[in-house]
Amino acid sequence: MKLPRASLVRRLTLGFILGHIAALSIILMSMWPLAGLNDDQVGPDVVLAMLRDELIETPTGFELSADSSFSRFARKSPGVWFVAEKEHRLLRWGPIPADALRILDSLPPVTVMAAFGNIGAPGRRGDMGVIREDVDSGSLLLAAGGVKAEAVFFGTWLDYLHRELFTMVPIGSAILSLLGALIAVPLVLRSVGPTVRAAIALDPANPAQRLPDQHVVKELLPMVRAFNGALERLEAGFERRRRFIADVAHELRTPLAILTMHVDVLPAGSSKTNLQRTVFRLGQMVGQMLDAERLALADRRRSQVDLVATSKAAVAEIAPLAVQSGYEIEFNAQAAQVVVDADAHAVLRALLNLLGNAIAHGGNAGTIRVCVSSKGSIEVADDGPGVSPDAQDRIFEPFHRERWDKDGCGLGLHLVREIMRSHGGEVRLQGSGVGARFRLEFPIQ
């Protein structure tokens, strides 16, 4: 049997119900100290307190209003009784035990307060309390008994609710609603939490990701599905753009190869050098577009790559163009082999991008140095004007070009950074003096 999908409305309702139950429980617990009225004389004392406040003196005696606390309490406690006496006024109410009357008749006039137990009926219904106090018109004697402490607790508690709580409905409702919200809101937020965490975890580099909808509450399900639909359309758009760029790059490779052969057979001279540099830059741009395609694919093959051998291959490939452009090229390695787990083609492309960048921006003079560290890094440096401090934070952004009079489309350094990050490494610009010095840092196993 398939369980119904979770609902915010149900959880909100449940939260408010639990909040109201919690609020009522707090009220009951705050009043529970009244349950401590279990002393033998507590029952009579409470009755005497009610009588002292609610007993009305008349010319011929005493009376109680029908809606007084004592009258309501007496209806719930049929064994209660009391005696009120003042000068010539006397009121006897309820089933007064004979023993209690004898005690009252023999009570000394100076008695102010007294308590008697085990009078009359068995149990505690015969407990009696007596108070005498002076009022303006004489001495008032009150005696009461015939009630258990438990009856006093529940009777006075219900009377309190009748007189106090239900006369404060707006305040009580506000308190109950507040406590309900304190429980309901966390329940609602807990329902939304998994969806929020899934949205935060979306990786821009992986457009195939979607928000899971298995445990989404039904009120949010249309929004999650609409969001996933938008992600699908974005993925389709990115895929079309990627395929277009890849197709253009592949189509350009053949005419570039033919152009390179024609340039190579030209006689030596400045025109040939300039053409070779231009063809190389075009080849770099095509290669960068293909690199972007490879980076979009997550199935790059990894193998044990020797950074020394790869760096030598990059230097050998770029050396003719570097020399023709006015540079000397220098290679150093601190070890015979420095092996890392990497994609050999991607590492070679990253090095060629850095070397091509050095040729384009090195000022056509000085030395281009390539150094392989035994700690798993490759450094490419030139003696050109370097990178201005203002541009150092932007040079790795896609399509950023510091010099628009130079060839290129501004993707080289960005692709170098993406290649390094895909390997768990990083590319860094070292120093800010004369010349540019880039370091490829690979993680060492």
By the 8 A CB rule, do 429 and 438 touch? Answer: yes
Region(s) of the chain under CATH 1.10.287: 202-299
Q: Which pLDDT score, from 0 to 100, does residue 295 have?
A: 62
**Whole-Å CA distances, 135 to 63, 86, 140, 425:** 17, 10, 7, 96
369 — phi, psi (to 5°)?
A: -110, 135
Give the model's pLDDT for residue 184.
Answer: 64
Least confident of 25-29, 157-161, 414-418, 432-436: 157-161
Cβ-based burial of 375 (10 A; exposed 0-12, middle 13-18, buried ≥19): exposed
Q: Characterize 59-77 residue by residue with b for buried, 16 or more Cβ atoms within 10 angstroms of its Cβ, and e for exposed.
A: eeebebeeebbbebbbeeb
Instruction: Evaluate if residue 20 carries a pLDDT over 60.
Output: yes
pLDDT-derived band at 38, boundaries 50, 70, 90: very low
| Residue 93 pLDDT | 85
Contact assessment for residue 148 and residue 124, using Cβ atoms and an 8 Å cutoff = yes
What is the arithmetic mean of pLDDT over 160-172?
54
The residue whose two tokens read 């291959």 is 313
Burial class, 36, CB count within 10 angstroms (exposed 0-12 / middle 13-18 / buried 19+):
exposed
The confidence score (pLDDT) of residue 410 equals 62
CATH tag for 37-166 (out of 3.90.1310, 3.30.450, 3.40.1710, 1.10.3470) = 3.30.450
Q: Tokens standing for 28?
A: 């009951």
Q: Residue 162 has what pLDDT?
A: 52
Is the pTM here over 0.75, yes or no?
no
Domain with CATH 3.30.450 in the chain: 37-166
**pLDDT attached to residue 368:** 93
Q: How confident is the model at residue 28 (pLDDT cuts 50, 70, 90)?
A: low
Query: CATH 3.30.565.10 residue ranges in the chain?
Result: 300-445
**Tens digits of per-residue pLDDT, 222-272?**
888 888 888 888 888 877 777 776 666 666 767 777 787 777 778 877 777
**Which helix (H) or strand (E) segment is 134 a member of?**
strand 128-135
pLDDT per residue as tens digits for the range 367-406: 999 999 999 999 999 988 888 777 777 788 766 555 534 5
Q: Tokens in use for 383?
A: 């003696």
User: For a pLDDT cut of 70, what percent of the chain falls above it?
Assistant: 68
State in words which class domain 202-299 has.
mainly alpha
- Do residues 241 and 289 make contact, with C-beta atoms less than 8 angstroms apart? no
What CA–CA distances, in Å, run from 165 to 29, 155, 157, 174, 415?
15, 15, 11, 13, 72
How do residues 282-332 score in pLDDT, each as one tens digit?
776 776 666 666 665 544 567 899 999 999 999 998 898 888 888 999 999
34: its two tokens: 């009244």
The residue assigned the tokens 């033998």 is 40
How many Cβ atoms from other residues are within 10 Å of residue 231's Cβ? 16
Distance CA 284, CA 380 (A): 17
CATH homologous superfamily for 300-445? Histidine kinase-like ATPase, C-terminal domain (3.30.565.10)
Inform me whether the pLDDT recorded for 180 exceeds 70: no
pLDDT at residue 123 in the model: 46
